[in-house]
Structure 1
Amino acid sequence: MAKTFKVLSLLLTYPEAELQEAAGEMKQILASEKLVPANCLEGLTRLLDEIAEGDLYDLQERYVLLFDRSRSLSLHLFEHIHGESRDRGQAMVDLAEHYERHGLVLSARELPDFLPLFLEFLATRPLPEALELLEQPLDVVAALAERLRKRKSDYAWVLLALEGISRGKPSQAVLDELLAAPDDDPEDLEALDRAWEDQPVTFGPGAPGAGGVSPGGGCPAVRDTLARMDRPADTKPL
């Protein structure tokens, strides 16, 4: 089990005073476990210093602008794959059941596809299993890293560290498709409202996930990613 995943999980959560106080200990864990590549460790150290020394309200405002008001930076993994389709609900049920079979019981408010929660789960698993599980959402992780990098945000180092730790490589085809989606501006409130409008539910042969049509449309790479993440836990985790 690797505490590094717990540190990366905490770095992607809403900043609180407790996080600021724990920054020094978190740096020690990253340095001692040596899972994070050296170039990423430098970036993570800078982010931890920002959190430890920054004004808490400024840190919280920055977090909200990035992750709560930017749909393209949502930390809910299935949001980027399933959107608001019915497939997302079933995928989350399956993932929650997988967590519970391994001793992680969620509260009513927690969504299982929240990336910090997923990383917290990885921290409870043997390292080889955690590394295997980490490969499965790697396409989304890489897309988030690229979008944060373009914003010159040090949060990008958290996602880049996950890429560096993983033994896998993101699919370029899937990554290109994810990055082709609009990258919303959190300061544009009208555009934000439009982006978060409820999508109509459609039924019949053309509906996503219905009539033999796979979620992800006609792109084989997207279908493969969905199949990996939605596979029943009894045959392959997640």
Structure 2
Amino acid sequence: MTREGTARNPAAWQVQSLLLGYPDERLLEQVPLVRAVTETLPDRVAEPLRRFLGHLDRTPATDLAADYVTTFDHRKRNCLFLTYYAHGDTRNRGAALLRLKQAYTAAGLRLTDDELPDHLCVVLEFAATGDPEAGRRLLTEHRAGLELLRLALRDARSAWADVLDSVSATLPPLAGDEREAVAKLAAQGPPEEQVGLAPFAPPEFMPAPTGGRS
């Protein structure tokens, strides 16, 4: 990634954070400003956002809201809480949430009572306005979960997949071990999760069959 592209990441993360939020009247009122900021970003980051903004323009607000709830609130495979992918609903997730909250506090960012620190919108907001380098490290640390979410949204033909495409464009490409982590999550689901363990990702991220019971 070029130095110029890296310098523009905070603006991209701010836009992505807004667009991944619930599409209420407040968000829709900010679309003209979001569009103006988008046009200052590199094409690889901006083009997916342009597609999503076009979707906002042509979709009734009630349909957007219903689609958002169906996409993110009713499907664990489209989870916006990043520590869920790595830790499931285990005690390790609590420790991971605490570390995130401590990082935000150190940067002067205070969360409201209804915000969890691992929500992707919150992480992107921190990266945009708190500590960009620390925020980029957090996003990269959760690269496998982000990729799994992106693929799940793309597989479901969700409009929000474009926003995840844009997020991915601000991060380093997946390394070999990260691809392995995506495959493992796709096959097994989050740790100790007992419900909804159907494969999370398209076939290219699934391990080859090893035999056994059919």
Q: TM-score under structure 1 normalisation?
A: 0.70
Aligned equivalents of 1:133, 1:20: Cα separation in 2: 28
Greater fraction of residues in helix: 2
- Partner residue of 2:153? 148
- Partner residue of 2:183? 176
Aligned equivalents of 1:52, 1:24: Cα separation in 2: 10
Q: Determine what percentage of the aligned residue pairs are the same residue.
A: 29
- Partner residue of 1:12? 20
2:141 is paired with a residue whose SS is: coil
Aligned equivalents of 1:104, 1:142: Cα separation in 2: 26
Count of paired positions: 182
- Partner residue of 1:24? 32
What one-letter code is carried by the residue in structure 2 that aligns with 1:177? K
Extract unaligned runs of 5+ from structure 2.
Answer: 1-6, 190-194, 197-214
Write the mapping of 1:3-152 to structure 2, written as runs, cut at 5 A: 3-34=11-42, 37=44, 41-125=46-130, 127-152=132-157
Aligned equivalents of 2:101, 2:138: Cα separation in 1: 14
1:84 is paired with a residue whose SS is: coil
Q: TM-score under structure 2 normalisation?
A: 0.78
Per-residue deviation, 1:181: 4.2
Q: Deviations over 1:132-171 (max 9, x none)?
A: 4331111111111111111112211111112111124251
- Partner residue of 1:210? none
Change (3 A) 1:58 1:153: same
What one-letter code is carried by the residue in structure 2 that aligns with 1:51? L
Per-residue deviation, 1:88: 0.5
- Partner residue of 2:205? none
Greater CA drift, 144-153 or 132-141: 132-141
Question: Do the aligned partners of 2:17 and 2:121 also contact (CA within 8 Å) in 1?
Answer: yes
Runs ≥4 in structure 1, deviation > 6 angstroms? none
Change (3 A) 1:129 1:110: closer
Q: Deviations over 1:94-128 (max 9, x none)?
A: 11111011011112221101010000000014655
1:123 is paired with a residue whose SS is: helix
Extract unaligned runs of 5+ from structure 1.
Answer: 183-193, 196-238
Per-residue deviation, 1:84: 0.7
Change (3 A) 1:181 1:28: farther
Q: Deviations over 1:192-214 (max 9, x none)?
A: xx54xxxxxxxxxxxxxxxxxxx
Change (3 A) 1:108 1:67: same
Give me the CA root mean square deviation: 2.1
1:152 is paired with a residue whose SS is: coil
Q: Deviations over 1:29-81 (max 9, x none)?
A: 122132x51xx533321211222342111101100111000011110001111
2:22 is paired with a residue whose SS is: coil
What one-letter code is carried by the residue in structure 1 that aligns with 2:41? E
2:77 is paired with a residue whose SS is: helix
